[in-house]
Amino acid sequence: MTAAPEILLGDLLRRRSWWLATAESCTGGLIAHRLTNVVGSSDYFDRGVVTYSNRAKTELLGVPAELIDARGAVSPEVVGAMLDGLRGRFPVQAGIAVSGIAGPGGGSPEKPVGLVYIGVDAAGLRVVRECRFAGDREEIKSRAADRALRMLAEVLAEVPAAGRLQTGWVVRLFFAVDIPATVKQQLATAPMVLRRSAARVGSFRWVVTENLHLTIKFIGELPDEAVAGFVRRFAELCFPPFTAAIGGTGFFPSPDRPRVFWAGMAAGGRELAALAAEVENRCRAAGLAADSRSFSAHLTIARIRPRRHRMLQCCRDLQREADEWLPLDLTWQVDQLVLYSSILGPGGPVYEVVGRFPPESTVGPEELLR
């Protein structure tokens, strides 16, 4: 007997240590319902949003209202924008978006009852299909949910679990400042030292030691063939060396709703912000969309699936213990910016260096703020 598509999909996601989010309109949460009916789905299902109204699509996923007015909510363009919202706003590697007409009313000769657009995205490999389903309202919803789950499973099976992507694939890029091995080794003791306090907050996925870094800017996905041209735009990037030091901890977005446990900067924050501004300017010149979020220098230590009991007090206890634990000597000299590609493997992300940009002492901090 063939396994249900939600089980097959779950196995594929779990093997890659990937997270999935869904955005549903006509299916009304049925896809999320089927996913969460599988025991252990909390290993890979991050969240689902039901964006039934046009307003919800705009408010929760950032779908432009003008696009909905021009193409209609049931269109491949809007489903593509729903996927953009999922991948851009939530920390997931895979997404499903659905919009259609389940009936019995609401159809037209151009867009009849049973017309459903389904979009899936797996690490940038994206497919949006037009589907037409027969049956009553419940049957159309059920068939659309089933097709969506199967579509993502099929696409996910084509994505390599690890290793460099082939030509024609998209590459996820980000700029970062490396942390020396001596500092990483001290930070690597966090899971052991803080395990009891962390367990009271929730389930922690600690960043593996070799992946610790200070993210300067997440570039997003570029076609493999466009990477070399992008790198050339930063060939002359230079900045004066400066001292960085880690100090203090916190939670994002807040201690009562923690998703990320981070360490802040005791020194070097201003210089890192100047470097991030310069990178942002060059990205805009390359035609990339501006980052709407303000830069805040920090080191992600762990990602959290929080519990609900006494959350605020548990987070405060962990933060106090972490601040007391942080070693005093977490200082180093920053003299290089690194461009990484990020490829998700079975054990988490695998980073590969795409380019390094050494400093030159002839450039002062004021020039970085042009």
Can you give the pLDDT at residue 170?
Answer: 57
153 and 61 belong to one structural domain:
yes
Whether this prediction's pTM lies above 0.95 is answered by no
256 and 109 belong to one structural domain:
no
Residue 335 falls within a domain, yes or no?
A: yes
Residue 226 falls within a domain, yes or no?
A: yes
Query: Which stretches of the chain score pLDDT less than 70?
Result: 1-2, 158-171, 224-225, 308-310, 328, 343-350, 358-370
Residue 265 falls within a domain, yes or no?
A: yes
- Asked if 33 is an active-site residue, the reply is no
221 and 352 belong to one structural domain:
yes
Can you give the pLDDT at residue 346?
Answer: 44
Residue 165 falls within a domain, yes or no?
A: no
Return the CATH number at 363. 3.90.1140.10
DSSP class per residue in 79-122: HHHHHHHHHHHSS-SEEEEEEE--SSSS--SSS-TTEEEEEEEE
Annotated active-site residue in 147, 172, 213, 217? 213
Last residue of a domain, one of 124, 158, 192: 158
Residue 163 falls within a domain, yes or no?
A: no
Q: How many domains is the chain built from?
A: 2
Rounded Cα–Cα distance for residues 113 and 367 (Å):
59
Residue 141 falls within a domain, yes or no?
A: yes
Last residue of a domain, one of 137, 158, 179: 158
Q: Domain range spanning residue 239? A: 170-368
DSSP class per residue in 326-358: S-S--EEEE--EEEEEEEEETTEEEEEEEEEE-
* pLDDT tens-digit series, residues 50-107: 999 999 999 999 999 999 999 999 999 999 999 989 988 888 889 999 999 999 988 8
- For 243, other C-beta atoms within 10 Å of its C-beta total 11
113 and 200 belong to one structural domain:
no
249 and 196 belong to one structural domain:
yes
Provide the token pair at 306. 């929080």
Rounded Cα–Cα distance for residues 338 and 174 (Å):
8
Residue 164 falls within a domain, yes or no?
A: no
Residue 292 falls within a domain, yes or no?
A: yes
Return the CATH number at 18. 3.90.950.20
Annotated active-site residue in 34, 87, 298, 303? 298
205 and 75 belong to one structural domain:
no
194 and 302 belong to one structural domain:
yes
119 and 230 belong to one structural domain:
no
Can you give the pLDDT at residue 60?
Answer: 95
What amino acid occupies position 112? P
